[in-house]
Amino acid sequence: MPTLEERVAYLEGKVEELSGGHTQLRQGIHVLDQKVDRFREELSSRIDALDHKVDRFREELSSRIDALDHRLNTRIDTLDQKVSRWFAWLAGFLITALLAQLGLLGAALFRP
Protein backbone atom coordinates (compact mmCIF):
# COMPACT_ATOMS: atom_id res chain seq x y z
CA MET A 1 0.00 0.00 0.00
CA PRO A 2 1.40 3.41 -0.96
CA THR A 3 2.27 5.83 1.73
CA LEU A 4 0.51 9.12 2.25
CA GLU A 5 3.38 11.05 0.66
CA GLU A 6 3.31 8.83 -2.42
CA ARG A 7 -0.44 9.28 -2.69
CA VAL A 8 -0.13 13.06 -2.33
CA ALA A 9 2.71 13.13 -4.87
CA TYR A 10 0.56 11.09 -7.28
CA LEU A 11 -2.36 13.48 -6.82
CA GLU A 12 -0.08 16.50 -7.29
CA GLY A 13 1.18 15.00 -10.54
CA LYS A 14 -2.37 14.45 -11.75
CA VAL A 15 -3.33 18.03 -10.82
CA GLU A 16 -0.30 19.38 -12.72
CA GLU A 17 -1.17 17.18 -15.68
CA LEU A 18 -4.77 18.44 -15.64
CA SER A 19 -3.57 22.01 -15.20
CA GLY A 20 -1.28 21.65 -18.23
CA GLY A 21 -4.17 20.13 -20.20
CA HIS A 22 -6.37 23.01 -19.14
CA THR A 23 -3.77 25.49 -20.38
CA GLN A 24 -3.49 23.64 -23.70
CA LEU A 25 -7.26 23.59 -24.00
CA ARG A 26 -7.45 27.36 -23.41
CA GLN A 27 -4.71 27.93 -26.01
CA GLY A 28 -6.57 25.68 -28.46
CA ILE A 29 -9.78 27.61 -27.89
CA HIS A 30 -7.91 30.89 -28.40
CA VAL A 31 -6.42 29.65 -31.70
CA LEU A 32 -9.82 28.40 -32.82
CA ASP A 33 -11.39 31.75 -31.92
CA GLN A 34 -8.78 33.54 -34.05
CA LYS A 35 -9.46 31.20 -36.97
CA VAL A 36 -13.19 31.81 -36.67
CA ASP A 37 -12.59 35.58 -36.64
CA ARG A 38 -10.41 35.35 -39.78
CA PHE A 39 -13.01 33.17 -41.48
CA ARG A 40 -15.74 35.63 -40.52
CA GLU A 41 -13.75 38.54 -41.98
CA GLU A 42 -12.98 36.61 -45.16
CA LEU A 43 -16.60 35.56 -45.54
CA SER A 44 -17.75 39.11 -44.92
CA SER A 45 -15.41 40.46 -47.60
CA ARG A 46 -16.60 37.83 -50.07
CA ILE A 47 -20.23 38.65 -49.33
CA ASP A 48 -19.47 42.36 -49.81
CA ALA A 49 -17.79 41.63 -53.15
CA LEU A 50 -20.75 39.54 -54.25
CA ASP A 51 -23.12 42.27 -53.11
CA HIS A 52 -21.22 44.81 -55.24
CA LYS A 53 -21.38 42.46 -58.24
CA VAL A 54 -25.11 42.00 -57.77
CA ASP A 55 -25.59 45.77 -57.50
CA ARG A 56 -23.62 46.35 -60.71
CA PHE A 57 -25.60 43.63 -62.48
CA ARG A 58 -28.86 45.12 -61.21
CA GLU A 59 -27.87 48.59 -62.47
CA GLU A 60 -26.79 47.16 -65.84
CA LEU A 61 -29.99 45.19 -66.17
CA SER A 62 -32.07 48.20 -65.17
CA SER A 63 -30.39 50.40 -67.79
CA ARG A 64 -30.90 47.75 -70.46
CA ILE A 65 -34.56 47.39 -69.53
CA ASP A 66 -34.96 51.18 -69.64
CA ALA A 67 -33.37 51.26 -73.11
CA LEU A 68 -35.62 48.47 -74.34
CA ASP A 69 -38.64 50.20 -72.82
CA HIS A 70 -37.74 53.42 -74.62
CA ARG A 71 -37.27 51.59 -77.94
CA LEU A 72 -40.54 49.73 -77.50
CA ASN A 73 -42.43 52.93 -76.66
CA THR A 74 -40.97 54.62 -79.73
CA ARG A 75 -42.02 51.75 -81.97
CA ILE A 76 -45.51 51.62 -80.43
CA ASP A 77 -45.92 55.38 -80.97
CA THR A 78 -44.76 55.05 -84.59
CA LEU A 79 -47.12 52.13 -85.19
CA ASP A 80 -49.97 54.05 -83.56
CA GLN A 81 -49.39 56.98 -85.90
CA LYS A 82 -49.29 54.66 -88.94
CA VAL A 83 -52.50 52.91 -87.91
CA SER A 84 -54.18 56.28 -87.31
CA ARG A 85 -53.17 57.45 -90.81
CA TRP A 86 -54.33 54.19 -92.38
CA PHE A 87 -57.62 54.43 -90.53
CA ALA A 88 -58.15 58.00 -91.70
CA TRP A 89 -57.44 56.99 -95.31
CA LEU A 90 -59.71 53.95 -95.06
CA ALA A 91 -62.50 55.98 -93.49
CA GLY A 92 -62.11 58.56 -96.26
CA PHE A 93 -62.32 55.89 -98.97
CA LEU A 94 -65.34 54.24 -97.34
CA ILE A 95 -67.18 57.55 -96.94
CA THR A 96 -66.38 58.48 -100.55
CA ALA A 97 -67.61 55.07 -101.76
CA LEU A 98 -70.78 55.39 -99.64
CA LEU A 99 -71.50 58.86 -101.01
CA ALA A 100 -70.89 57.63 -104.56
CA GLN A 101 -73.31 54.73 -104.04
CA LEU A 102 -75.89 57.04 -102.50
CA GLY A 103 -75.46 59.40 -105.42
CA LEU A 104 -75.97 56.55 -107.91
CA LEU A 105 -78.95 55.24 -105.94
CA GLY A 106 -80.45 58.74 -105.80
CA ALA A 107 -79.88 59.29 -109.48
CA ALA A 108 -81.50 55.95 -110.28
CA LEU A 109 -84.52 56.66 -108.09
CA PHE A 110 -85.16 60.21 -109.27
CA ARG A 111 -84.60 59.54 -112.94
CA PRO A 112 -87.39 60.89 -115.07
Taking the chain (112 residues) in consecutive chunks of 10 residues, what is each chunk's mean pLDDT? 81 79 85 94 96 96 97 96 95 95 90 74
- pTM higher than the cut 0.95: no
Q: Are 27 and 19 in contact (CB under 8 A)?
A: no
Q: For residue 59, what pLDDT is reported?
A: 97
The C-alpha atoms of residue 67 and residue 42 are separated, in whole angstroms, by 38
The C-alpha atoms of residue 108 and residue 105 are separated, in whole angstroms, by 5
Q: For residue 100, what pLDDT is reported?
A: 93
Side chain identity, residue 24: Q
